[in-house]
Amino acid sequence: MTFDDTRPFVPLGIAIVTVSDTRGLSDDRSGDTLAGRVEAAGHRVTGRAIVPDDREALRSAVGGFVADPATDVVLTTGGTGFTGRDVSPDALEPMFEKRMDGFSNLFHAYSNGVIGTSTLQSRATAGVAGKTFVFVLPGSTGACKDAWDGVLAAQLDYRHKPCNFVEILPRLDEHLKRGKLRAPAA
């Protein structure tokens, strides 16, 4: 992995959704961790929300950010475990037109180097919804740091080579446009 300093930095709009029945903005440490890293990297936080561990509330919050043209990426934190209240992957994966299995693989590989086999307790996932990347992260601050530092910081930087998410961002909705251009089946 290399960075091409001849390329300009392209700031992205990134929304953060914390999934919690007990947190508010004043004590949202994981959301704060992500917001700090997003801004330190030069991106903009386009919005933050805290929603309960509820499928419809989470879909609504993420769907609102996906519909916002200022938001390129949504990061959710929380609700990726195996307890009865952990519904983030179950709520959000049906919104994905395309899943990003590689994110989960890379996140777990990086996390394994930090916390060992306990990384298995997360169902971190990602995908594309509309023209927006959605990353579903665990709720701990450590996991948020691992996801950002180990995977997302580089992939959300246009200068990262050999390829990055910023390069393909303008083309994420090609499948939607192409579908509208097809002739109806006879």
pLDDT confidence band for 181 (50 / 70 / 90):
very low
Report residue 6 as tokens: 């001849």
Q: CA–CA distance from 13 to each of 33, 90, 126 (Å)?
A: 16, 25, 17
Q: What is the pLDDT of residue 183?
A: 44
Structure-derived torsion over alpha carbons of residues 156, 122, 140, 92, reported in degrees to the nearest 10: 60
pLDDT confidence band for 186 (50 / 70 / 90):
very low
Query: Diameter of the chain by CA atoms?
Result: 57
Q: What is the pLDDT of residue 107?
A: 96
Q: CA–CA distance from 155 to each of 58, 133, 176 (Å)?
A: 25, 11, 23
The DSSP bridge pattern shows strands 44-51 and 73-77 to be unpaired
Residue 179 has pLDDT above 70, yes or no: no
- What the chain holds in terms of domains, given with CATH numbers, is 9-181 (3.40.980.10)
Residue 178 has pLDDT above 70, yes or no: no
**Model pLDDT for residues 153-164, shown as the tens digit of each residue:** 999 999 999 999
H or E segment at 39? helix 29-40
Nearest Cα to Cα of residue 135 among 181, 90, 182, 92:
92
**Model pLDDT for residues 12-43, shown as the tens digit of each residue:** 999 999 999 898 888 999 999 999 999 999 99
pLDDT > 70: percent of the chain: 94
Residue 72 has pLDDT above 70, yes or no: yes
Query: Which amino acid is residue 53, in one-letter code?
Result: D
Contact assessment for residue 131 and residue 172, using Cβ atoms and an 8 Å cutoff:
yes
**Mean pLDDT across 47-67:** 97
Nearest Cα to Cα of residue 29 among 18, 45, 41:
18
Q: What is the pLDDT of residue 1?
A: 76
Give 167's contacts (C-beta < 8 A, 6+ positions apart): 158
